[in-house]
A and B are shown apart, each in its own frame.
Chain A
């Protein structure tokens, strides 16, 4: 298969939160259409990488660069990144009181459409866009009339993230531990929905602690992040190796290098 164009190029990325440097020089190249998985032990910096790429203001970029679709990613506000096709499925989706799921998602879609010079969708048009996407995650309208994530179960919150992904159709989707807290049925539904969204013009970065999600979503490349650096990259088989051997041997390898 012909390789796609480079979409994301991370070079020597260093980032800190609350004064602690978590990322200590991350290098990563993702091309259009590729699915990359980042695995690693707790505290290795996986979620930090996801948050930094999405532009969370609490994280301080201390060095390195990220080029995204030919732009300097750090020149863009979080909303500008989103409008340019960056999407983060949150590990802990946020509850928003008083705003229905439907209103929230339509506001997001319209903000993105507006930035592209496209017409905003009224509630009826939006309902049509929504219909097929809801079906893919096994939901009906009732979930859309509830306040965003309020009173949702862990699994419902994660499905909601995938629904947003399906509606907003990003070019680069980051899934931050989307598998955590899911039972096996929910995991399968989420994986299936992601697989349906795989496309030559859409890349994925899947952050996960466990290999089990990768039983259902086969990545093109697997990276291991340990102590703020990518210490090993390989094919899908690397995930299985990690599942069998754990992370300790890699942490030692990181110390040596």
Chain B
């Protein structure tokens, strides 16, 4: 409990000091967040949603709220973390927007800290309206510390052809915590692609507690990529919450490579009829890494389709946890929902937990799910060897295929190529 009190204390000091000039609605939002966190405390493994993941290293750790970036990198230093050369780019270090590292931007692609005062109505209309804090201590805590992050707004019927990159770097020199808060609003019949990346410059232990809200309007299409390559000593907790309107399309791609401990809560609400959602994820872990993906797809309207694919590749003593919850609300008829989670264990000490949770309250729906946990398929191994491919190469090829299956669904070719290179590099280690 000591640490909960410490966090609440640091909130009080922060709220009464530098950010006290915030508008009342924002102050209220923050106060609600800290009250909720204070009430909930850190989750423990007795709670169903946290059965397989202990957050003790975070709860018992000592992470100071970053007051400013520990240091500001040069453009050359951040280049390796940019997955695309073209397009808009917002760069954050230890949670703070870095104008000098970002591309020329305009009112619709901005730092949240800036738009909170400049475009209050729009921000107020959406911020905190989608992510749940009721039973989610980490998103409640993030909400308490809302100050900076990325703001992307695509006006109705606007197409932004180049992907927008959001890069969150930890300087990784001190044990700090950052609470980046991102808001993406794609208005009616608009279209945009977003690439959100988390990475570290140094290898010190730190904690990232991020929340991203994504709103996709009626008839709009969004492609949202999220790449987590935090340092191997980092703690990464994140919530991604989307909300889709009628006949909208959302393609969510999640790749997790990093972190000592990573927990990602992914929520998708299909609020209007005729929506399409693809949730495509990969976790590639080694050493003692632990990654927990907790996904909830909420079919709140009829005639929506959600296809969820998560693959895990686990080596050494790594552990992967996947929970795939699908809710089909009463009246969400003609729902077409498909979920698969396949886990490849490359070592006898690697471990995967996979649990589908289907809650179906409508009767005219199609819902399928399947999950696998196991080593490489010996039949596939023999098949390759019988074609002349050596055993080691055959293993590598099959393992790569597990990851490539997920990467293959990504439409931005240069991004796919970059991730492909990262995957190949990690598998060659």
Given contacts A90-B386, A94-B379, A99-B400, 20 further A-B contacts (CB under 8 A): A56-B382, A77-B385, A78-B385, A79-B386, A79-B390, A79-B394, A82-B387, A88-B386, A94-B383, A96-B383, A96-B398, A98-B402, A98-B403, A99-B397, A104-B387, A108-B387, A108-B389, A111-B387, A111-B390, A115-B388
Residues in A whose Cβ lies below 8 Å from that of B391 = 77, 79
Q: A79's contact among B380, B389, B397, B404, by CB below 8 Å, is which?
A: B389
CA distance A87 to B387 in the complex (A): 7
Residues in B whose Cβ lies below 8 Å from that of A147 = 401, 405
Q: Are A98 and B408 in contact (CB under 8 A)?
A: yes
Chain B interface residues (CB < 8 Å from chain A): 342, 377-380, 382-391, 393-394, 397-398, 400-406, 408
User: Is A93 engaged at the interface, CB distance under 8 Å to the other chain?
Assistant: yes
Please give me the residue from chain A that is nearest to B379 by CB atom.
A94
CA distance A98 to B376 in the complex (A): 13
Known contacts A96-B380, A97-B402, A99-B397: does B408 contact A111 (CB below 8 Å)? no
CA distance A81 to B389 in the complex (A): 11
Query: Looking at B377, B389, B393, B394, which has the most chain A CB atoms within 10 Å of its CB?
Result: B389
CA distance A87 to B406 in the complex (A): 31
Chain A interface residues (CB < 8 Å from chain B): 54-58, 77-79, 81-83, 87-88, 90, 93-99, 104, 107-109, 111-112, 115, 147, 164, 168
Please give me the residue from chain A that is nearest to B407 by CB atom.
A98
Known contacts A83-B388, A99-B397, A107-B389: does B382 contact A78 (CB below 8 Å)? yes
CA distance A78 to B387 in the complex (A): 8
B interface secondary structure, majority: helix
Known contacts A94-B379, A94-B380: does B403 contact A82 (CB below 8 Å)? no
CA distance A55 to B408 in the complex (A): 33
Residues in B whose Cβ lies below 8 Å from that of A93 = 383
CA distance A93 to B382 in the complex (A): 11
Residues in A whose Cβ lies below 8 Å from that of B383 = 90, 93-94, 96
Q: Are B404 and A168 in contact (CB under 8 A)?
A: no
Residues in B whose Cβ lies below 8 Å from that of A83 = 388
Residues in A whose Cβ lies below 8 Å from that of B401 = 96-99, 147
Residues in A whose Cβ lies below 8 Å from that of B400 = 98-99
Residues in B whose Cβ lies below 8 Å from that of A82 = 385-388
Q: B387's contact among A57, A77, A164, by CB below 8 Å, is which?
A: A164
Residues in A whose Cβ lies below 8 Å from that of B408 = 98
Residues in A whose Cβ lies below 8 Å from that of B385 = 55, 77-79, 82
CA distance A147 to B397 in the complex (A): 13
Q: How far is the CB of A226 from chain B (nearest CB, A)?
A: 27
Pairs of residues from A and B, 8 with the lowest C-beta to C-beta distance, nearest first = A98-B401, A98-B405, A108-B387, A82-B388, A98-B404, A78-B385, A99-B401, A94-B383
Please give me the residue from chain A that is nearest to B398 by CB atom.
A96
CA distance A112 to B390 in the complex (A): 10
Query: Looking at B377, B383, B388, B402, which has the most chain A CB atoms within 10 Å of its CB?
Result: B388
Query: Looking at A54, A57, A58, A108, which has the most chain B CB atoms within 10 Å of its CB?
Result: A108
